Amino acid sequence: MATCKDLADLIFPDVKETTKDLDKRFPPRNLPEGAEVTRFAPSPTGFLHTGSLFTAMVAHKFAKETHGIYFFRLEDTDQKREIAGTGMDLVKQLKRFGIVADEGYCGDHEEGNYGPYVQSERGDIYKIVIKELIKKGRAYPCFCTKEDLDQLRLVQEANKVIPGYYGEYAKCRHYTLDEEIEMIKAGKPYVIRFKSKGNHLNHIKVHDEIRGDMDLTENDQDIVILKSDGLPTYHFAHLVDDHYMGTTLVTRGEEWISSLPIHIELFEAMGWKHPKYAHLPVIMINDKDTGNKRKLSKRKDPEAATSFFLKAGYPIQGFIEYLMTIANSNFEAWLMANPKGNMDDFNLSFDKFSLDGALFDLPKLNNISKELLANMDKDTFTSQAEEWAKDYDPELYGYITSDKAKFERIINIEREQEKPRKDYERFSDVTPKIRFFYNDQYDKMLKAAKLPFNEFIKPEVIKGFLNDFVATLDLTHDESTWFNDMKTLGVKHGFANDRKVYKANPSQYNGWYADCISLIRIALSTSAQAPKLYDVLEILGKDEITRRISEVVATL
Ligand code: GLU
């Protein structure tokens, strides 16, 4: 009578190593007490999703906080779904968000002693483990064809029983070893299935760092662990990898909770301790049509792709800070209290995670981004704007690279001070706001625009005031002297120098001080919203101011 060992040797004649050899190849890591080994383990099936970035960010942060290791593993065992080149892209995109792995797959090479970090290159490891499971009687060959499985599903549907390959429905689990050996020798194609000892009437308790003790139905499914293409399935492969790569904390989406009983049973069958689990909330969005909360969808929501936020010009740190507010409910308050703080000083904690899907909140992202951009020093702002503009805004890129000093003076208006001006939510807001500083652009804008002067002020008054403004302009005066110059000039042209004075007797005046300042602002920028006027004057310089005013006066 054949033994399990005979079956194992028949299936894997070339596999000579055992899990003892693997234990030697991948010894325990030498890390300080409390250090977590975390990982991000995407499949190379497309672009970097917002949800995936969130997962990677959390894994990265926990490793960093505990002085542990964060590694990147490429889970490419589903080769039908694989899109060539996307593994490399994921590494690059994560890097743009500042998430760089301590070890693992790096796109064109690998780093670390626990590899290979690409699952399709780990075939020998999986075979060693599967051979051992077969020897222990915990795995078996299954010869069912697709038609057999379709037929099984029909029977189960008709009988209204739980679907799947388990217990009495798991036909191949009931063959004797001799029968199995005979069919393999006869060349019948097969996959390898795990032999579950569970019963779905039982419950198991599994601890989740975010959710506490979870009560789950025990696994009884004989899942496929090795497919007919010779590659393992996710359930099996990730578990072997997490074991031999020394993962201590698995952070992944909550959609994996339902498969957790399978993983727990596989760990038990191998005699391995399972890592800690933290199943993260899924990012939700309010559906634009129905108003109902639903999962962020790859197909419907542009926000599902991280590239959307890059293109839109959000500063990278702002987007990461926003994701941190989704992760921990107390992060936003911390950020408001520390607008210039280093995120490394904030520790993520499991008890501050929300349990039900976190809602995507664009106004909050805009606000965080606006605060961040306002508090950025001019050098950081300029280099980040340049990097963004290079890919997405050729006009801005031209401004920055042709005269960096001028660009820096422009964006430094009311920056680097205690209460900085909050001009920009994203880098894409910059070009329309600063375009008027550039002479040829100003000329185009002047031609195209009807200047928004206050219609109650007569054109002759505007003309007279603007001509006199140029004639008397002295840019060597400091800001407060200039301020007084303008009040005096305003009074000369019939503007009250105070709002109250004007309001008491409006018919006696052409307006008040703010109105005459607005005339200058509009004339020089074509808009009533330009930044602080004194700085605008300094940047434009007397010659250009004179030129612009004479152009405007000619139109009145
Ligand atoms: N490859 C899986 C995914 O892309 C990883 C899940 C896990 O982190 O265990 O969702």
- Atom of ligand 1 minimally distant from the CA of 242: 9
- Atom of ligand 1 minimally distant from the CA of 39: 8
Q: Ligand 1: does its nearest atom lie under 6 Å from the Cβ of 41?
A: yes
Asked whether residue 427 carries a pLDDT value surpassing 80, the answer given is yes
Across 277-285, average pLDDT: 93
Asked whether residue 494 carries a pLDDT value surpassing 90, the answer given is yes
Q: Ligand 1: does its nearest atom lie under 6 Å from the Cβ of 232?
A: no
Element (H, E) at 285: strand 283-286
Q: Which burial class, exposed, middle or buried, applies to 160 when counting CB atoms under 10 A from its CB (0-12, 13-18, 19+)?
A: exposed
Asked whether residue 438 carries a pLDDT value surpassing 90, the answer given is yes
Q: If you measure from the C-alpha of residue 26 to the centroid of ligand 1, how many angstroms do you get, rounded to a whole number? A: 22
Query: What's the Cα-to-Cα distance from 347 to each of 142, 209, 350, rounded to whole Å?
Result: 48, 15, 10
Q: 186-200, 410-424, 513-527: which has the minimum mean pLDDT?
A: 410-424
Across 167-182, average pLDDT: 97
Amino acid at 59: A
Please report the pLDDT score of residue 12 as a whole number: 97
Give residue 449's pLDDT band: very low, low, confident or very high (50, 70, 90): confident
- 344-363, pLDDT tens digit by residue? 999 999 999 988 777 888 99
Q: Ligand 1: does its nearest atom lie under 6 Å from the Cβ of 425?
A: no
Please report the pLDDT score of residue 298 as a whole number: 86
**Mean pLDDT for the chain?**
95
**Helix 123-135 with 234-244: angle, nearest 10 deg:** 100
Please report the pLDDT score of residue 125 as a whole number: 98
Q: Ligand 1: does its nearest atom lie under 6 Å from the Cβ of 50?
A: no
488: tokens are 């005096």
Across 390-412, average pLDDT: 97
Question: HEC string of 21-69?
Answer: HHHHHCCCCCCCCCCCEEEECCCCCCCCEHHHHHHHHHHHHHHHHCCCE
Give residue 392's pLDDT band: very low, low, confident or very high (50, 70, 90): very high
Across 208-212, average pLDDT: 96
Give residue 60's pLDDT band: very low, low, confident or very high (50, 70, 90): very high
Q: Ligand 1: does its nearest atom lie under 6 Å from the Cβ of 138?
A: no
- Phi/psi of residue 233, nearest 5 degrees: -90, 165
- 75-110, pLDDT tens digit by residue? 999 888 888 888 999 999 999 999 999 999 999 999
- Atom of ligand 1 minimally distant from the CA of 234: 1
Residue nearest ligand 1's atom 2 by CA: 42
Please report the pLDDT score of residue 82 as a whole number: 84
- Atom of ligand 1 minimally distant from the CA of 252: 8
- Atom of ligand 1 minimally distant from the CA of 40: 8
Q: What is the DSSP letter of 174?
A: G
Across 385-394, average pLDDT: 97
Q: 38-42, 123-127, 258-262, 324-328: which has the minimum mean pLDDT?
A: 324-328
Asked whether residue 46 carries a pLDDT value surpassing 90, the answer given is no
Across 113-139, average pLDDT: 97
Please report the pLDDT score of residue 355 as a whole number: 80
Please report the pLDDT score of residue 499 as a whole number: 93
- Atom of ligand 1 minimally distant from the CA of 45: 4
Q: If you measure from the C-alpha of residue 192 to the centroid of ligand 1, how many angstroms do you get, rounded to a whole number? A: 22
Give residue 156's pLDDT band: very low, low, confident or very high (50, 70, 90): very high
- Atom of ligand 1 minimally distant from the CA of 251: 8
Asked whether residue 331 carries a pLDDT value surpassing 80, the answer given is yes
Asked whether residue 495 carries a pLDDT value surpassing 90, the answer given is yes
Residue nearest ligand 1's atom 4 by CA: 42
Q: Ligand 1: does its nearest atom lie under 6 Å from the Cβ of 42?
A: yes
Amino acid at 66: T
Asked whether residue 405 carries a pLDDT value surpassing 80, the answer given is yes
Residue 194, classed as helix, strand or coil, is strand
Q: If you measure from the C-alpha of residue 360 to the centroid of ligand 1, how many angstroms do you get, rounded to a whole number? A: 22
The percentage of residues in the chain with a pLDDT greater than 70, rounded to a whole number, is 100
Q: If you measure from the C-alpha of residue 173 to the centroid of ligand 1, how many angstroms do you get, rounded to a whole number? A: 29
The percentage of residues in the chain with a pLDDT greater than 90, rounded to a whole number, is 88
Q: Ligand 1: does its nearest atom lie under 6 Å from the Cβ of 242?
A: no
The span from the CA of 281 to the CA of 294, in Å, is 12
Q: Ligand 1: does its nearest atom lie under 6 Å from the Cβ of 279?
A: no
Give residue 340's pLDDT band: very low, low, confident or very high (50, 70, 90): confident
Distance of CA 15 to the CA centre of its chain: 42
Please report the pLDDT score of residue 299 as a whole number: 86
Please report the pLDDT score of residue 202 as a whole number: 97
Please report the pLDDT score of residue 97 as a whole number: 95
Q: If you measure from the C-alpha of residue 330 to the centroid of ligand 1, how many angstroms do you get, rounded to a whole number? A: 27
Q: If you measure from the C-alpha of residue 314 to the centroid of ligand 1, how many angstroms do you get, rounded to a whole number? A: 27
Asked whether residue 9 carries a pLDDT value surpassing 90, the answer given is yes
Q: Ligand 1: does its nearest atom lie under 6 Å from the Cβ of 252?
A: yes
Please report the pLDDT score of residue 320 as a whole number: 95
Residue 337: partners with Cβ closer than 8 Å, 6 or more residues away: none
